[in-house]
Amino acid sequence: MAETSEHEVIIIGAGVVGLATALRLAASGREIAILDPHEPGSGASYGNAGTIANYAVMPVGTPSVLKNLPRLLFDRDSPLSIRRTAIPALMPWLLRFAWQSLPGNAARNAAVIAALLADSLSAWRDLATEIGAEDLLRQNGCLYLYDDPASLACAADDMAVRKRFGIAQETLSPEDVHRLEPALPPFEGGGVLFPDAVNLADPAAMMRRLTEVVRAAGVEIIRTEATAIARETGGVNVSCADGRRRRARSVIVAAGAYSRRFAAQAGDPVPLDTERGYHVEYDMETPPLSRPVCPTSRGFYLVPMAGRLRVAGTVELGGLAAPLSPRRIALLERGAKAVFPGLGKPDRQWLGFRPSMPDSIPVIGASKQGNDVIYAFGHGHLGLTLAPVTANLVERILAGQNPSGPQAGISPCRFH
């Protein structure tokens, strides 16, 4: 008979969401164990673009994406592509995505995302102060770039939505852009600056700092894979790959793109899939930019990070099992060279898995059968941004307070 250890709370997954949640719950005096077979913070939370994107209120699925979906998906060099072999398996997710992209649904989803993002900057500042990582937060805004005036005009609707949600944004002429970022080539459409946005100088360093403080707060981080959860009287059993059984009064599922099976085991089927994303990095002492910059037609960010320039983004629909696509890496390289022709070969490349819902809204909330199982996954493009907000929400849900108002839209019950 396998040995069983008892915990108050078990968190499955030590990404930025699991770690931030562990810290919040430990600070309120709870006994926490986190399970993860890998180095904490080494999943999607390691390789992202590092932007705390308080301005990113638009869901991925919008009427204009829907209109262009066939072209986008089947052009293998577009910023949003699909692996053809994955189409049958992805069809249910794609159909839901198309439905969520209709005008009324997209507007409702934007309102939920905006409600979540409203506290994201202050929550990150609080977290950075708490873990002594203020030096890793950079406050310099974030810049979108447009190839020509027509592309800027196409973005007008998105900007109007942002304005309605109170997001600060400044439209810049090509000359203004040049003054802000003199190393950039001309972008004839100019740009839009989101002046309040913050970014991380080094996501991996931030994850290390967070992990150290989580450990110092008494959280046990156990290197093993959770394989199944099952409710029983007075708690939830967690079976693990190390052969041990662990039991907790509450289990929080924060396994990023790998969370779906646990939700199904607890009786809450959710349409979680993944949007695969890539980065390439160029080592250099002084990157040629002073803030994250997004040439919008290319679907990636160029981000100055400690000792390197990271080029991160694009979406590839294709599941969790397929290997890195050299074609997608080449696309990033070509795009980076179009902006900075002097770049050589990248020093490293990376593939990561965004945990993505068809409505671009994370799943944060108690299982239908009770708050002994709580979900905190599905953050898609905004998991880094929303991790501390999620941690605060989970603390309240564990105490029996469910989100209300637009934030109620994050509930797992929306799929029942």
List 9, 16, 80, 357, residue binding ligand FAD (CB under 6 A)? 16
Calculate Rg over the CA atoms of the chain.
21
Q: What's the rounded Cα separation, in Å, for the pair 154 and 131?
A: 41
- Binning the chain into helix, strand and coil, the percentages to the nearest 5 are 40, 25, 35
**Least distance to ligand FAD from the beta carbon of 219, Å?**
14
Q: Does 226 bind ligand FAD (CB under 6 A)?
A: yes
- How distant, in Å, are the alpha carbons of 12, 150, 158, 373, 414 from that of 63? 35, 18, 11, 35, 21
Least separation, in Å, of the C-beta of 142 and ligand FAD?
9
In the bound complex, what is the minimum distance in angstroms from residue 279's beta carbon to ligand FAD?
Answer: 5
User: According to the binding rule CB under 6 A, does residue 225 interact with ligand FAD?
Assistant: yes
Q: Which stretch binds ligand FAD (CB under 6 A): 14-22, 77-85, 94-102, 121-129?
A: 14-22
Q: How far is the CB of 238 from ligand FAD (least distance, A)?
A: 9
Nearer to ligand FAD, 102 or 265 (CB): 265
Written as six digits, the tokens of 359 are 């409505």
Of residues 100 and 385, the one with the C-beta less far from ligand FAD: 385
Binding test (CB under 6 A) with ligand FAD, winner from 21, 45, 78, 81: 45
- Residue 222 engages ligand FAD in binding (rule: CB under 6 A): no
Q: Residue 345 has what DSSP assignment?
A: S
In the block, residue with structure tokens 């396994």: 255
Query: Site for ligand FAD (CB under 6 A): which residue of 7, 9, 10, 14?
Result: 14
Which CA distances in Å does 177 have to 56, 98, 170, 183, 312?
20, 35, 11, 10, 21
User: Any alpha helices (H) in 340-382, and if so which ranges?
Assistant: none
Q: Where are the beta strands (DSSP E) in 298-380?
A: 300-305, 308-317, 348-356, 363-367, 370-377
Which listed range, 175-183, 209-217, 338-346, 380-388, lies at the site for ligand FAD (CB under 6 A)?
380-388
If binding means CB under 6 A, how many residues of this protein chain bind ligand FAD?
43
Position 382 contacts ligand FAD (CB under 6 A): yes
Is there binding between residue 360 and ligand FAD (CB under 6 A)?
no
Tell me the C-alpha distance between 51 and 200, whole Å: 6
Q: Which is nearer to ligand FAD, 223 or 368 (CB)?
A: 223
Question: Of 198, 384, 393, 397, which one interacts with ligand FAD (CB under 6 A)?
Answer: 384
Question: Are 94 and 313 a contacting pair, CB within 8 Å?
Answer: no
Structure token digits, residue 407: 């934030």
**313 makes contact with ligand FAD (CB under 6 A):** yes
| Dihedral angle computed from the Cα positions of residues 207, 208, 211 and 217, in that order, rounded to the nearest 10 degrees | -120
- In the list 155, 211, 354, 374, the residue contacting ligand FAD (rule: CB under 6 A) is 354
The answer to the question of residue 79 lying near ligand FAD (CB under 6 A) is no
- Return phi, psi of residue 108, to 5°: -65, -40
Looking at 235, 295, 346, 383, which residue binds ligand FAD (CB under 6 A)?
383
- Per CB under 6 A, residues contacting ligand FAD are 12-18, 35-38, 42-45, 47-51, 53, 225-226, 254-256, 258, 277-279, 312-313, 352, 354-355, 377, 379-385
